[in-house]
């Protein structure tokens, strides 16, 4: 369990250092400050993700790029990606409690109200993502796009 939390921390919580020196690249399309929004790709029919519930989600993460398909630019990571330090050898699903504030704000906001079986695309500005510090593979002040699938609510 501790190894899974460590892998998810690297994947999602963004405590790693940014490789661009902290300033971002103004020519990088991810530097567009998008408004937070989400759209349901599939509406789920199971239990609802609400405050206090523990949820598990599969995910894929991209840098925002307005000229990409669905505004998705460079793919950063997904829950099925290989990870030598993770249980089962893959990054694995994200697992957290809604309202505990231990994950980026835009991710938590975007998951609220989903139902198990649902898929959603989240557009997250830097202020609700990794901000000026960036994260591993994510430049500072980057807007990001997640696609998530809610697999369980407990």
Of all residues in the chain, the percent with pLDDT exceeding 90 is 71
Which tens digit of pLDDT belongs to each residue from 6-45? 444 444 444 333 334 344 465 677 888 899 999 999 999 9
Burial, 88: exposed, middle or buried (Cβ in 10 Å; 0-12, 13-18, 19+)?
exposed
pLDDT at 103: 94
Q: What share of the chain is helix, strand, coil (3-state, %, to 5)?
A: 20, 30, 45
Residue 80's CB: how many other CB atoms inside 10 A?
A: 13
Question: Backbone phi, then psi, for 135, in 5-degree steps?
Answer: -160, 175
Structure token pair of residue 147: 């696609």
Structure token pair of residue 96: 């957290």
Q: Where are the domains of the chain?
A: 18-77+94-153
Burial, 149: exposed, middle or buried (Cβ in 10 Å; 0-12, 13-18, 19+)?
buried
Structure token pair of residue 74: 């460079």
Separation in Å, CA 96 to CA 52, 59, 64, 100, 112: 10, 13, 24, 8, 12
CATH of domain 18-77+94-153: 3.10.50.40
Which tens digit of pLDDT belongs to each residue from 76-104? 999 999 998 888 889 999 999 999 989 99
């Amino acid at each position: 369990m501790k190894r899974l939390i460590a892998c998810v921390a690297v994947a999602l919580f963004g405590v790693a250092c940014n490789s661009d020196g902290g300033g971002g690249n103004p020519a990088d399309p991810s530097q567009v400050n998008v408004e937070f929004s989400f759209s349901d790709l599939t509406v789920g029919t199971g239990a609802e993700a609400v405050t206090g519930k523990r949820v598990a989600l599969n995910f894929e993460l991209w840098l925002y790029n307005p000229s990409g398909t669905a505004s998705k630019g460079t793919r950063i990571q997904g829950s099925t990606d290989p990870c030598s330090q993770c249980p089962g050898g893959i990054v694995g699903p994200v697992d957290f409690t809604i309202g505990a504030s231990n994950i980026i704000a835009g991710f938590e906001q975007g998951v609220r109200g989903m139902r198990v079986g649902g898929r959603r695309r989240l557009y997250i500005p830097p202020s609700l993502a990794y901000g000026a510090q960036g994260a591993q593979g994510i430049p500072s002040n980057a807007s990001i796009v997640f696609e998530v699938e809610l697999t369980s609510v407990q």
